[in-house]
Structure 1
Amino acid sequence: MSNNFSIEEFEKKYVARLQDRKLDWNVLKFQEEIDPAYQRAQMRYIGRGATANNDPDVIEAEHFTLSTMVLPPGCVGPLHHHDDVEEVFFILKGKVKALIQENSYSEVYEIELNERDCISSPPGVFRGIKNIGEEEALMLVMLGANKPNIPTYPEGSELEKVRKERTKEREATIKGE
């Protein structure tokens, strides 16, 4: 080991402890405002994800993001897709259905997942998740890039309309309009 190596600095930079985390019920609040069934919370560990929330306590991502997600009974992570990354859901607790759709106009397929089951959705495929159990579901969520693009939603959906509005507002802010 180098004389300049500090285990204290290493720990500060590369360790994220549960005691320092809190569930963020607001990061996806814009979805819940469209439909209360979209309520869910994230707890970030590595990277800021596609929402790019500004959590100073996350481990800086180099190649992927990692968070946990809590999904209350009956709630849904709505159909969306990432054009640039795969997304992995690993079920830690609960019973869910993964929702898979090839494109905005095709059939939505359901795949039941239980504790310690995993699904990986490739870029460009719409995916969502629904808690079909009696208790909250807890899962790990990984995205395959350190700064994924903002997801899109099925064409014509209320969420896609909101995403387009938010994108225009964001671009106008960047341009100083």
Structure 2
Amino acid sequence: MSFSTIEEFEQKYVGRLEDKKLDWEVLAFQEEVDPRYRRAQMRYIGRGATANADSSVIEANNFTLSTMVLPPGSIGPLHLHSDVEEVFFILKGEMKVLLQHEGEDHEIKLNTRDCVSVPPGVQRGIRNDGDEDAMMLVMLGAPKPQLPTYPEGSELEKLRIERKKEREAIISKADK
């Protein structure tokens, strides 16, 4: 066991909303490419593909878990996780899941409490077409997922390549 008291358990394994804040900066590099990519993340378990080093985050053993707020008109851009499945569970509002399959773009509408699990190797994104903020739970199937890729030749893919070394340095420092 990795705890000896209930207090130690609580310190290590409980994530409380009161200790969290919406992080509008963690994905700001995407917003630099397109203002519609503005959204906020709140990490609960694992640092995820973003390498967020928030000390209130529970250490991941098998998966990551966060919530994300998408303002009206906001887009989580198309991206690909080659190593993990990604789950979007809609907590509030309605969103459209964006998928590419066999070279074609597809949209699937999700409402509150709807869920989609996207397998590794499938380009995916999400968009809030509603008039109010939407919120979803996001789960990735590994404690330290690889950085996602974006469509070849896109501005986000060029930026990802530039930022790869920065992310690796953050992870290396956090692992020490």
Fold shared, TM-score > 0.5 on shorter chain? yes
Return the alpha-carbon distance in structure 1 between the equivalents of residues 33 and 83 of structure 2. Answer: 25
1:83 — aligned with what?
82
State which of 154, 159, 165 in structure 2 corresponds to 1:157.
Answer: 154
**Is the counterpart of residue 69 in structure 1 residue 68 in structure 2?**
yes
1:156 maps to a residue whose letter is G
Q: CA deviation at 1:170?
A: 6.1
Deviations 1:49-89 (A, max 9, x none): 00111111111000000000000000000000111000000
The residue type paired with residue 81 of structure 1 is L
Give the corresponding residue for 2:28: 29
Taking the aligned partners of 2:168 and 2:5, their CA distance within structure 1 comes to 42
Deviation, 1:168, is 5.6
Q: Structure 2: where are the runs of 5+ without partners? A: 171-176
Contact 2:50 2:167 in 1 (8 A): no
Q: Between Structure 1 and Structure 2, whose CA radius of gyration is higher?
A: 1
AA of the residue aligned to 1:91: I
**Amino acid in the other structure paired with 1:146:** P
TM-score (norm: length of structure 2) = 0.91
User: Where does residue 44 of structure 1 map in the other structure?
Assistant: 43
Q: Which amino acid aligns with 2:8?
A: E
For residue 169 of structure 1, report the CA deviation from its aligned partner. 6.2
Contact 2:41 2:68 in 1 (8 A): yes
Write out per-residue CA displacement over residues 69-112 of structure 1, whole angstroms, 9 at most, x where no aligned residue: 00000000000011100000000001100001136xx1110000
- Give the equivalent residue in structure 1 for 2:101: 102
Identical positions, percent:
72
Per the alignment, residue 142 of structure 2 pairs with 145
2:109 to 93, 107, 112: 112
CA distance in 2, matches of 1:166, 1:36: 19
For 2:143 and 2:26, how far apart are their aligned partners in 1?
A: 18
Counterpart of 2:47 in structure 1: which amino acid? R
Number of residues paired by the alignment?
170
Q: Taking structure 1 as reference, are residues 171 and 66 closer, same or farther at Cα in structure 2, changes over 3 Å only?
A: closer
Partner SS, residue 78 of structure 1: strand
Using the alignment, how far apart are the partners of 1:112 and 1:141 within structure 2? 16
